[in-house]
């Protein structure tokens, strides 16, 4: 490994990232074909933005002209807390307990890119985290961070699947990961068996329209379909069932990133409080958190659905 590649790895770990990999900036042909097939099956539901400019999702040079390499980074977000077993409260997905991960990850990516441009003559780059048209999971696999689990999340040996993924696309060559991590799911079907709605229709294939996370976060309809409403299992925002049952998550480690600790020690939220929120109190309550993604109308729809099951 070149001294530059290793120095960037060391700096990324110093900034707080937990895993670092490097991939050549080239088109994702096989992964792009799978994406197109998934879209053709209408498994993306109302997430219409996934259909727009699919070529950008598979070719980093269309996002950042001059792209030569991707620095792919993972940040562990696991904190050792549990949901409150209170039917008057709705469970929040672990990734949304603390500060908005977009802000946390992007800040670290920018710090790393600023350091790179100060150290490498002529270096330029672009930071990407989730909202950019980049296939984060595909690049994480290519860069050797982990493998794609049957639940479609990236799994690492060190941290399980409790990771956020981000990239920096740069205009210079690096040493690239030559071996990807083999699939270690084997014959296990724990995630498929545990999904209450059968959203994991086959290994590595998720129908978003049947997924609790999609329904409680992305869906804008005023009501749930019967398969969702009858199988919420207490989830107000998101769902962690497929990750909670994954045997590889026995290797989970508490993160040192304090921003991911539950705000106000909350892992669940009182349903009546959600239903009493006004647009103003909602905006203040969930400022700089991922929960705002569901919007007030979505959260209150979710709360009403949960209350109807009490």
User: Is 130 one of the catalytic residues?
Assistant: yes
CA dist 31 and 273 (Å) reads: 43
Burial of residue 306 (number of CB atoms within 10 Å: 0-12, 13-18, 19+): buried
Task: Say if CB 161 and CB 150 are below 8 A apart.
Answer: no
Distance CA 150, CA 122 (A): 41
User: Which residue has tokens 């991590």?
Assistant: 181
Long-range contacts of 264-269 (CB under 8 A, 24+ apart): 265/81, 266/92, 266/97, 267/81, 267/82, 267/83, 267/84, 267/91, 267/92, 267/94, 267/97, 268/83, 268/84, 268/86, 268/89, 268/90, 268/91, 268/92, 268/234, 268/236, 269/89, 269/90, 269/92, 269/236
Query: How far is the C-alpha of 165 from the C-alpha of 138, rounded, in Å?
Result: 10
Residue whose structure tokens are 């969702």: 228
Task: Map residue 63 onto helix, strand or coil.
Answer: coil
Selected catalytic residue, list 130, 175, 183, 270? 130
Phi-psi region of 7 (alpha: psi -120 to 50; beta: other; left: phi over 0): alpha
Q: How far is residue 308's CA from residue 212's CA, in Å, rounded to a whole number?
A: 17
The secondary structure element, H or E, covering residue 126 is strand 125-128
Q: Which of 234, 250, 12 is nearest to 109 (CA)?
A: 12
Tell me the C-alpha distance between 196 and 233, whole Å: 8
| Residues assigned a catalytic role | 130
């Amino acid at each position: 490994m070149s001294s530059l590649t290793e120095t960037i790895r060391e700096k990324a770990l110093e900034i707080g990232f937990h895993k670092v990999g490097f991939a050549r900036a080239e088109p994702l042909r096989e992964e792009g074909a799978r994406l197109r097939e998934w879209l053709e099956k209408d498994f993306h539901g109302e997430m219409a933005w996934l259909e727009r400019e699919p070529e950008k999702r598979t070719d980093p040079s269309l996002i950042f002209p001059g792209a030569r390499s991707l620095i792919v980074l993972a940040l562990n977000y696991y904190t050792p807390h549990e949901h409150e077993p209170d039917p008057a409260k709705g469970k929040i997905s672990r990734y949304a307990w603390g500060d908005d991960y977009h802000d946390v990850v992007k800040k670290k990516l920018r710090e790393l890119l600023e350091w790179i441009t100060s150290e490498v003559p002529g270096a330029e780059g672009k930071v990407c985290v989730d909202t950019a048209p980049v296939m984060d999971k595909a690049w994480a696999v290519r860069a050797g961070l982990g493998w794609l689990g049957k639940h479609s999340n990236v799994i690492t040996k060190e941290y399980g699947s409790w990771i956020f993924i981000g990239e920096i696309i740069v205009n210079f060559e690096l040493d690239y990961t030559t071996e990807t991590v083999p699939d270690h799911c084997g014959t296990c079907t724990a995630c498929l068996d545990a999904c209450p709605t059968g959203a994991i229709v086959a290994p590595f294939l998720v129908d978003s329209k049947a997924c609790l996370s999609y329904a409680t976060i992305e869906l804008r309809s005023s009501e749930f379909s019967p398969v969702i409403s009858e199988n919420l299992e207490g989830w107000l925002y998101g769902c962690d069932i497929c990750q909670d049952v994954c045997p590889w998550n026995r290797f989970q480690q508490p993160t040192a990133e304090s921003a991911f600790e539950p705000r106000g020690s909350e892992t669940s939220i009182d349903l009546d409080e959600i239903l009493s929120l006004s647009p103003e109190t909602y905006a203040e309550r969930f400022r700089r958190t991922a929960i705002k993604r569901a919007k007030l109308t979505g959260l209150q729809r979710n709360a009403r659905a949960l209350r109807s099951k009490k």
